Structure 1
Amino acid sequence: MLVQSAKATLAATGAWLLATLVLRLPQPFLAPYAAVFLVEATVYRSLRGWVQQVGSVATGVLLAALAGQLIPWQAVALAVVVFAGLLAGSWWRFGESGVWVGVTGMLVVSYGTAAEPVLLGDRLLETALGAAIGVAVNTLIFPPLYGERLVTAAGRLATALADLLEATSDLVRHDEPDGVDSLLSRTNDVRSQVLAAEDAAGLTREGRRLNLRRGRPGAGARHERPLRTLIALWSPLSQLVAAVRTTSERQEHPFAYPWPDARDALADLMHCLAGAVQSVAAVGEPVELDGCRALLHRLEQRLVTAEDDGVPARLGLGAMILPARLLVEKLEDR
């Protein structure tokens, strides 16, 4: 944030000096304004914003010029330009810059330059100049990368997933009623961490587009795949937690808890999965899954041979084995 603020200051100052001292434009207020707004969070956004910004400002200036030629009363011209500019700015191709169609037109009419073609040309020139300087500064001087966000997001998500698996393991092993509320709280925490991880991954990918520093370690390419794996674990884990909550909250439900030996094996499997999930976030470290595979195989064999143990218990065990297998498969495909 400090670097981007310094860059925006540099861009605004440079745009103002170039417009006043070199081009000698009168009242070049749009140059530093455009420069500041084009120092975006990513290089790609700056380049896209340059097109949108210049387009929206040019449209606002043209609207003001048209109103200045056709409407002799400044107040009426101002109202017409603002109304028409806000409508035109809602076009989706203008993006977030669309609001400046009406605002730019309002500024031009307010300054009384709407009827002077030379000054209108100056407005367009200074806007394009300021926007170009903003893009250049953001592209050439420490173009922003967000690889460190992937590292942070992966670490936090791995910890949240592992904690949820450990809490689920304890609930399965000990069947404590108070553990259900804790499980729900941890589930909500994981959901929020998944959303944060998806945002970090999207921003990091966008940050590398058209970025001169995209090949550097700080670009986060090494951590992108582990983070995708962790995000993919959320769906089967949420299914597993839902099955456990159902069996623990409603004992009269057909999905009853499985037999004691199977419950212990399930708890051990979840504990083993928690350790594997933590290893995913450590890039370059091996993820040990042999223990998880052995426990999963043991549980599946228990389900196949449990013909005389009753339908409710078999259903309960099956409901937990399926998402557990999906978790193992996601970890194997990392």
Structure 2
Amino acid sequence: MAPWAAVAPVQGTVYRSVHTALQLFLMITAGTLLAAGAALLTDNTMTAMIIALPIAVLLGNWAPIDGQGLYAPSTALFVLAYGSYSLVPVGHRLLETAVGAAVGIAVNAFVLPPVPARQPAGVRAAARLRALTAAAERRHCRRLGRVSRRSSGIPGRKLLWAG
């Protein structure tokens, strides 16, 4: 679980990496505890899967968890398939998950920090808006079959006249 927990939470910013690592740890903890509890309660792997997996899937689809919800049922399945649901293996699984998440965050924060965008967000948004406007004008122009003589303010580009 440690390599999985180290790679999965790495995001574009350190804040998002910490947020994702916390969600990942909570989902892995929930899946592990659900599987271990169901296995200890039933003493049968198949019956434990029937109990733990639907609950883990429902928990994983819970809205505030974002994209980390898949880790609860998959961890429950790994715990039950491996047969490691006594206290010591469950504790080791949670500890290695916490260590892996901490390593992933540390690498993201100190070794390979996120690269800042080359342009401010407003400049990128304005460029996208200009591109979308130009595409809409071209499509509308093709539909009408004409181009306006008015200038758009951008050299080499004309606005179409809709009226």
Q: TM-score higher than 0.5 here? A: yes
CA contact (8 A) 1:88 1:98 kept: yes
| Unpaired runs of at least 5, structure 1 | 1-29, 148-218, 250-256, 258-262, 278-291, 297-315, 321-334
Higher helix share: 1
Letter in 2 for 1:274: P
- Residue 22 of structure 2 corresponds to 51
The correspondence of residues 246-257 of structure 1 with structure 2, limited to 5 A, is 246-248=143-145
Larger RCO (alpha carbons 8 Å, 6+ apart): 2
Distance 1:233 1:66, change over 3 A: same
Give the RMSD, CA atoms, in angstroms. Answer: 3.0
Q: Which whole-Å CA distance do the structure 2 matches of 1:53 and 1:106 have between them?
A: 16
Query: How many percent identity over aligned positions?
Result: 30
CA contact (8 A) 1:52 1:93 kept: no
Q: CA deviation at 1:122?
A: 1.7
Q: CA deviation at 1:226?
A: 3.1
Which of 112, 116, 119 is 1:220 aligned to?
119
Q: Which whole-Å CA distance do the structure 1 matches of 2:66 and 2:126 have between them?
A: 32
Letter in 2 for 1:52: Q
Q: Secondary structure at the match of 1:53?
A: helix
Aligned length: 163
Q: Normalising by the residue count of structure 2, what TM-score does the alignment of the two structures yield?
A: 0.81
Q: Does 1:97 align with 2:88?
A: no
- Residue 245 of structure 1 corresponds to 142
Pick which of 58-67 and 38-47 moved more. 38-47
Q: Deviation per CA, 1:21-62, whole angstroms, max 9, x where unpaired? A: xxxxxxxxx112211212334433311211110010010111
Q: Does 1:87 align with 2:58?
A: yes
Q: Does 1:121 align with 2:91?
A: yes
- Residue 273 of structure 1 corresponds to 154
Q: Normalising by the residue count of structure 1, what TM-score does the alignment of the two structures yield?
A: 0.43
Which of 213, 226, 229 is 2:126 aligned to?
229
Radius of gyration: which is bigger? 1
CA contact (8 A) 1:68 1:109 kept: yes
- Residue 2 of structure 2 corresponds to 31
Q: Which whole-Å CA distance do the structure 2 matches of 1:83 and 1:118 have between them?
A: 25
Q: Which whole-Å CA distance do the structure 2 matches of 1:133 and 1:119 have between them?
A: 21
Q: Which whole-Å CA distance do the structure 2 matches of 1:85 and 1:53 have between them?
A: 13
Q: Which whole-Å CA distance do the structure 1 matches of 2:112 and 2:99 have between them?
A: 21
